[in-house]
Structure 1
Amino acid sequence: MFFAGLQLGTAGLLAGRLAWLTIAENEKWQLLSESNRLQLSLIPPRRGLILDRRGQLLATNKSQFTVDLIPDRLQDASSVMAKLAAILELDTEDLERLRSDLNLARGHQPVRVASGIAWEDYAAISVHLPELKGVALSRAFVRDYPLGAAGSHLLGYVGAPSREEYEETGDQFLMVPGVQIGKDMLEKTLENRLAGKPGARRVEVTARGKVIRELDIRPDEIGETVTLTVDRDLQTYAARRLGPQSGSVVALDLETGGILAMASMPAYDPNSFSDGISQSEWDMLSQDERVPLRNKSLQGLYPPGSTIKPITALALLEEGVAPQETVVCTGRVRIGGGTFHCWRRSGHGVVDMNRAIAESCDIYFYLMGVRIGMQPIADMARRFGLGARYPDLPVPYQYYGTVPDPEWKQRRYGEPWQVYDTVNATIGQGYLLANPLQLAVMTARLASGRAVAPELLAEQETQAPSLRIDPAHFAIVRQGMSDVVNGRGTATRARLPLADIKLAGKTGTAQVRRITMAERRRGVRSNASLPWRLRDHGLFIGYAPIDRPRYAVAVVIEHGGGSAAAYPIASDVLLHLFDKELAMERLAEHEKDWGGGIEERMARETVAYAAQ
């Protein structure tokens, strides 16, 4: 009876437990059972398209096979990496990168092994997948940039989320294998619009993880399509026309403020960043003295040189200086105990305002600038966009430069303003600094008489209000800028080869060092014999047509030796807006002399650097 009771009690306990598991906890164990045989995975979304003003693609997506490592699933990292290296032919540099990325990654943060692999390699890894614990295969969409290097500093690039980015947001979406997020420029600032929403896939698997069948799939939602003000053809042309030079081209539509082109060269191929850039390529880019990773259009700050003279002239007119008043330029002048020189050693002779602008006489602006003082000149420069930051522009950074005045110098250096500070500022030297975008805005305002503000998103283009400056004053300055190109000015070779369209502009040469008296006696200013970093910057601003201004352009060539390096580029960029075929013929001749276009030169530089 004792043993019978013990048996009955045990049976009762087992029956009760069985009933509890099968009835009370039925849902819990059913879900756990399902999770043992079902696998849920997220599908990275496709990013939204970026289009130019005519609907042409600037950034799109392409399908490719990718291989990732999931750190917290790896059981034998060395063995897995050795097998992947054998299949994918990974070299030592690739393996070192993987080890470094694995050390920095969170437990379930995917680490990209390779992307764009061939179908044969994808199939080979699939066969060995049960023994490659921690390897994730996917057929994903990656970013593709048809413009290549020509659009890198405009569009930016994408890449896998970093550990810091995940910890900052805590967004689980960033842990999806194959997901890419914006890292720079528009890809970064428009991330919320371009990102899209991930899809999901549910498959039935064996205990060893082998897929038996696909049960259900929820497609991803592609991100929003964004249309820019940019003209794709002009953007490509501007980048190619810069050629081997280091500098920037910015072109604006005067009617709307839309940025038609914003090219910075040298640059990098954003497709390389999307696919995973190699260490040697990164070293080459980061160590280049021309700084291809810097967006010179927004981050480059340069003395505007003589391109500021139309602004100085407007300030003179506003302060009551008559345009017919003259000064005598002998090539040098004593002001405040110091000697200041004109760029023309022999001088310009008798100079009025029109000739001072057209032939860029420094002495005229020295004397007249000192006469009215710095404050009116600084105020006018700010009205024309210098020193300004544009909060509505969707960019991650803007270096806004300096428009100095007595209050600024006292605040910055604790020193009073001196007369020589005014002398330097009247010709765009000294403390005065601007980026190429600001110079383009200044040009647009000079040409239109309106407070044009730059825009990159097509939906934000608007008409700008008037600057409320006397039209007669504008007419005087514009005539001087016309004579720079079409008269006896400093850029007559910039004339457009079109009978019915003329451009107006202003040249500029910005010193990067002090010219010694010995050099002045020898007539040496800047030449090819000097080291690249010691040569003057070359600048040019211009607009066309003269009679009904529609487009403005600003070109800055770093250490180009003078304005002669800049105004042919500006002329060709404006020509492209009126006659593409003729502009392309000119470009073909230049690229023949340079030994190919952007991609060919970048390939040669990469090979040369690797060999070194």
Structure 2
Amino acid sequence: MKQTPKDSQTSSRRISRRALLLGTVQLGFMGVLAGRMHYLQVDQADQFRMLAEENRISVRLIPPTRGEIFDRNGIPVAKNEPAYRITMVREDAGDVDVVLDKLAELIPIDPTDIERAKTEMKRSAPFLPVTVAERVSWEDISKVAVNTPSLPGITPEVGLSRAYPLDQDFAHTVGYVGPVSDYDLSKIEDPDPVLMIPRFQIGKIGLENKMEDALRGSAGSRRVEVNAVGRVMRELDRQPGTPGANVQLTLDVMLQNYVQNRLAGESAAAVVIDTENGDILACASAPSFDPNLFVRGISSSDYNALMKNDHRPLADKSVQGLYPPGSTFKIVVALAGLEAGIIDASTNFYCPGYYEVANRRFHCWKYSGHGMLDVVGGLQHSCDVFFYELGSRVGIERISAMAERMGIGVKHDLPLSAVATGLAPTKEWKRANQNKDWLIGDTINASIGQGYVLASPLQLAVMAARLSTGRVVTPRVVRAVDGEDQPSGLGESLGIAESSLRAVRQGMFEVSNNRRGTAYGARIIAEDMRLAGKTGTSQVRNITAAERAAGVTKNQDLPWNRRDHALFVDFAPFEDPKVAVAVVVEHGSGGSSVAAPIARDITLQALCKGDPPLDAYPAKDRDWVAQQQERLRALRPQIDLDAKGRA
């Protein structure tokens, strides 16, 4: 049908409106697009430029230099030394197996190291270096350097590695480092990023572990330019990290070495404390081990040998070991009785050789008995019956309270692994832990350091130090951190009457200096160095009534692990105490025959700061002491005097 002029005008007007509307929409869209482009390209230009830069620039961590550890005289006991290693980049190597085979032909490499490196390369990005061999000799590094054209991807490097120059002497106290493990990371709530660096080493046990944060320092960083796949193209700048703090110990290298070697052949521990400030001068556990083996990666055969040794070389018996303190605990019972007013220095008890309570007979170590004794005589003869009677009158609550006052049943705050708390039992403790009531027999056993009572060699040394000074001597093993002195361990007064302390000290003096004392054979005869001590022998097995009737089996006739523990504590000189010593010899049989001579020798060595004169010993001992001194001198470390004084 043919349109009329009117229809054509109407249609034209409609098209014009639609064109105008469409044009308006298009212009609006273009305006929005232009505005968005202006926002992105002009307003947000700096932000996007920064994001692009961050995508191109990568920040890499630089491991900090670990702080070193020194003895009290500045002699290094844990240091960093240059160590050569060989690394490999998988993407540069091509055929990894072929290159590693060539490397193994050139220098000696443990097959397990090669397999470990292959495993790490599979887990890591192809452009990251993986360590193939560590602690490589300079000669081997030279061979690799000369042959690098035929060893694609292989790079010889030099870094720092932890070393313990005194080997076994400080293994338990200082500990050792090792690579960070998944287990290590699981124990840390917010791990330091530096711990993610492959094969980064941290403290595993001992002071290396407990002071990890201070020793580690803080990581540095370097900015590098990377390509699209993350490979480093060039280094832009670097910020050095903060080295770890150097730590100076209270321990003395020469005394520690002497104590460690004096304990050789025994399963034993010894602690020496400076009574004037609480400094631990020696803290030894025998047998020991070489911590360098763990840093380098201990072999299965070496580790199994340590684990199977019945003398437990990996355990730090000095602070972790808990033992019935035996008769050394009579010091605590005597003080508890004197302070409670149950006895005074003139009170006497009669010992017929046994003590009867609740239709049970508790025997004295001397079958025929000691007769009438006061507290000084009770300590001198180590009479069990005297302390059975005293302990039953004092009661376990006051005994335990005095034990804690003297440092037993208390966890001393030291940066060492698994410091034991020990046990000064009470009635409530037994109800809570064994759901049983406390019995009078429990108190009798506790009165001579048996039953539930447990103490570590460290706690026994603290007890002797506190008795000798009358003050709350607190042990410390760190003397300074980065040159800043740590608080002294000499505390306030114990609050124990001087008359009580004097009576117990006199009893200990008689133990070592009276012909009838239990440790007279291990005395010091030099007037200015005489010691006051207390022997202890703690049972590790029950003696039945039948065995007692037939005759108690002698320790030497028993298997080693069923013999009694031997203990001895002392302080010296008696008139002006400088050191306190505790020695525990596992299954050593007798405190007077085994532990006391060791403690006497250690005490003299500490007082003289070296080999004491032979005339300090009884005449009968001088020949074998001279031989012993000569033997132990040969085992002393050769100290690099130029390395001293850096702590």
Sort the Cα spacing of 1:493 and 1:95 in 2 relative to 1 into closer, same or farther, 3 A. Answer: farther
Match in the other structure for 1:388: 410
Structure 1 partner of 2:366 = 344
Alignment partners' CA distance in 2, 1:337 and 1:99: 73
CA contact (8 A) 1:243 1:594 kept: no
Maintained 8 Å contact 2:177/2:205? yes
CA distance in 1, matches of 2:395, 2:276: 34
2:139 aligned residue (95, 102, 120): 120
Summarize the Cα distance change of 1:413–1:581 in structure 2 as closer, same or farther, 3 Å threshold.
closer
Q: How many residues align?
A: 572
Paired residue secondary structure (1:148):
coil
Matched letter for residue 322 of structure 2:
L
Corresponding residue for residue 193 of structure 2: 172
Q: 2:597 aligns with which of 568, 583, 599?
A: 568
The correspondence for 2:503, drawn from 464, 476, 487, is: 476
SS in 2 for 1:236: helix
Of 494, 511, 530, the residue aligned with 1:502 is 530
Which moved further from structure 2: 188-197 or 95-104? Answer: 95-104
* TM-score, structure 2 normalization: 0.79
Q: Deviations over 1:444-473 (max 9, x none)?
A: 111111111111222122431001111011
Indicate if the aligned counterparts of 1:526 and 1:561 stay in contact, CA closer than 8 A. Answer: no
Tell me, yes or no, if structure 1 residue 427 matches structure 2 residue 448: yes
Instruction: Please tell me whether the aligned partners of residues 444 and 543 of structure 1 are also in contact (alpha carbons under 8 angstroms).
Output: yes
- CA RMSD in angstroms, aligned pairs only: 3.8
- The 8 Å contact of residues 69 and 110 in structure 1, kept in 2 or not, is answered as yes
For 1:165, give the aligned amino acid.
Answer: D
Corresponding residue number in structure 2 for 1:318 = 339
Measure how far apart 1:165 and its partner are: 3.2
Aligned to 1:608: none
Query: Which AA in structure 2 matches 1:492?
Result: Y
Within the alignment, does 1:330 sit opposite 2:359 as a pair? Answer: no
Unaligned runs of 5+ in 2: 1-40, 480-485, 615-623, 638-647
Equivalent residues of 2:611, 2:629 under 8 A apart: no
CA distance in 1, matches of 2:232, 2:430: 71
Shift of 1:120: 2.9
Distance 2:458 2:164 in 1: 23
Provide the residue aligned with 1:541 in structure 2: 569
Preserved contact between residue 207 and residue 415 of structure 2 (Cα < 8 Å): yes
Once residues 338 and 105 of structure 1 are traced to their aligned partners in structure 2, the CA distance between those partners, rounded to angstroms, is 71
Moved more, 565-574 or 167-176: 167-176
Residue 4 of structure 1: aligned partner = none
Post-superposition offset of 1:517? 3.9
Matches within 5 A, 1:123-202: 123-126=142-145, 137-166=156-185, 168=188, 169-176=190-197, 179-198=200-219
CA distance in 2, matches of 1:82, 1:376: 73
CA distance in 2, matches of 1:342, 1:263: 33
Residue 12 (structure 1) aligns with = none
Conserved? CA contact 1:444–1:452, under 8 Å: yes
Q: Once the two structures are superposed, what CA deviation does each residue of 1:236-256 show, in whole Å capped at 9, x if it has no partner?
A: 211111111111111111111
Residue matched to 2:433? 412
Instruction: Give the deviation of 1:135 after TM superposition.
Output: 5.8
Residues 399 and 134 of structure 1, relative CA distance in 2, 3 Å threshold: farther
- For 1:86-485, list aligned pairs within 5 A: 86-92=105-111, 94=113, 113-126=132-145, 137-166=156-185, 168=188, 169-176=190-197, 179-198=200-219, 221-320=242-341, 321-391=343-413, 393-458=414-479, 459-485=486-512
Matched letter for residue 589 of structure 1: Q
Equivalent residue, structure 1, for 2:559: 531
Distance 1:527 1:594 in 2: 29
Helix, strand or coil at the partner of 2:168: helix
Segment drifting more, 118-127 vs 451-460? 118-127
TM-score, normalised via structure 1 length: 0.83
Structure 2 CA distance for partners of 1:591 and 1:135, relative to 1, 3 Å = farther
> How many Å apart are 1:359 and its aligned residue?
0.9
Q: CA deviation at 1:582?
A: 2.8
Name 2:3's counterpart in structure 1.
none
CA contact (8 A) 2:222 2:238 kept: yes
| Offset, 1:140 | 1.1
C-alpha separation in 1, matches of 2:112 and 2:506: 60
Q: Comparing 393-402 with 446-455, which one deviates more in the overlay? A: 393-402
CA distance in 1, matches of 2:432, 2:57: 70
Q: Which amino acid aligns with 1:383?
A: R
Q: Which amino acid aligns with 1:575?
A: L
Any idea what the Cα deviations from partners look like across 1:227-279, whole Å, max 9, x if unmatched? 22222221221111111111111111111111111111111111222222112
Q: The residue matched to 1:582 in structure 2 has which SS?
A: coil
2:519 paired residue number: 491
Read off the aligned partner of 1:570 and give its amino acid letter.
A
Q: Which amino acid in structure 2 is aligned with residue 579 of structure 1?
A: C
1:574: Cα distance to partner? Answer: 1.1
Q: Distance in 2 between matches of 1:352 and 1:61?
A: 58
Give the % identical residues: 42
Quick check: 1:268–1:293 contact (8 Å CA) kept in 2?
yes
> Measured at CA, do residues 234 and 335 of structure 1 come closer, stay the same or move farther in structure 2, by a change above 3 Å?
same
Match of 2:627 in 1: 589
The offset of 1:134, in angstroms, is: 7.2
Shift of 1:41: 6.9
- Is residue 427–residue 438 contact of structure 2 (8 Å, CA) maintained in 1? yes
In the superposition, relative to structure 1, how do residues 134 and 517 fare at CA in structure 2: closer, same or farther (>3 Å)? Answer: farther
Q: Distance in 1 between matches of 2:183 and 2:90?
A: 16
Residue 132 of structure 1: how far off its partner (Å): 6.3
